[in-house]
Amino acid sequence: MTPKEKAEELFNDYYSYLKANLMYDEESREDAKQCALIAVDECINIHFNLESDKNGIGKSFKYWKEVKQEIEKL
């Protein structure tokens, strides 16, 4: 899954959940974006703290940073 696809998946999961709870569309969009960014920040922090495995962690860290950039574009 590309970083863009993952970003859209995370965003859409949160957006559907928030919209189902009768929030306004624009409010749901911003809340979904913030929730997705929190989730990605958590992934980045976990991988950053496990930096001992430079190969796998480095690729994972780069992937999640790209996902975060894609979410911010939404």
What pTM was estimated for this model as a whole? 0.65
Which of the four pLDDT bands, split at 50, 70 and 90, describes residue 55? low
**C-alpha span between 70 and 7 (Å, rounded):** 6
Which of the four pLDDT bands, split at 50, 70 and 90, describes residue 54? low
Residue pointed to by tokens 């993952």: 6
Tokens of 56: 């796998």
Dihedral of the CA atoms 27, 30, 33, 35 (nearest 10)?
A: -60
pLDDT single digits (tens) 21-37: 766 677 778 888 888 99
Which domain range does residue 41 map to?
3-73
**C-alpha span between 34 and 66 (Å, rounded):** 16
Residue pointed to by tokens 């949160």: 14
Question: Domain count of the chain?
Answer: 1
Compute CA 36 distance to the chain's CA centroid, rounded to the nearest angstrom. 4
